[in-house]
Structure 1
Amino acid sequence: RRRSFTVTLAPDADIELAQNLVVEAMRNTQGVLDAPAPDAIVADLTPTGVLLRARFSTLSLRSNFALVSSECMKNVKIAFRDAGFAGHGESTKNKEVTQNQSMPINE
């Protein structure tokens, strides 16, 4: 199952650093599958910030799915804190997607 969540960055945040922190945090989360590889893409640009969409895959079991989703978001927050990355906000949305489903960029 494919899962995504968004992270809000400050308008002047280092986007590449944020993407690297997000991907590494998801890769290091137990239950995240190696394929398709986790990624973090720019989902939207707004006057108040940049939205990154973090995407990862996990097993379809509902209990595993919910736990891994929670751990990914927590680990991203911890990675930002540990790296001293202050240019982020809170996760704003959770969305389940299938591998073949297209993801709208603006929601």
Structure 2
Amino acid sequence: MPAGSSAKRERQYEHVKEGAEKRGASSGRAKEIASRTVNKERARSGEAKTSSKTSTRDKKSASQRGGERSHSGAQGPTKDQLYEEAKKKGVEGRSAMNKEQLRKALGR
């Protein structure tokens, strides 16, 4: 955190960092995610002295969006799910197939 950050931003940093660590991110990666998140929020609210256009362009912050753009692309079933379906159907060579090959073998 930059020197002189508000107590609110310090709490936000810790909260984001702990959440990332709970999701399995390494300590270094969790710190990076937390720093980027807090810096972007500081830029949007005018707390940062300098900021990029992309940091200030959004109309709403992540917390205000409430996950609006999260997981926007429908990915379909996971590779493990496709593998299990292929196993049930007796598809030969399924263990060596990637996700796309499993999809094709199952006719998807």
Q: Tell me the TM-score normalized by structure 1.
A: 0.28
Q: Tell me the TM-score normalized by structure 2.
A: 0.28
Higher relative contact order (CA 8 A, sep 6+): 1
Task: Compare the two structures and name the one with the higher helix fraction.
Answer: 2
Task: Compare the two structures and name the one with the higher strand fraction.
Answer: 1
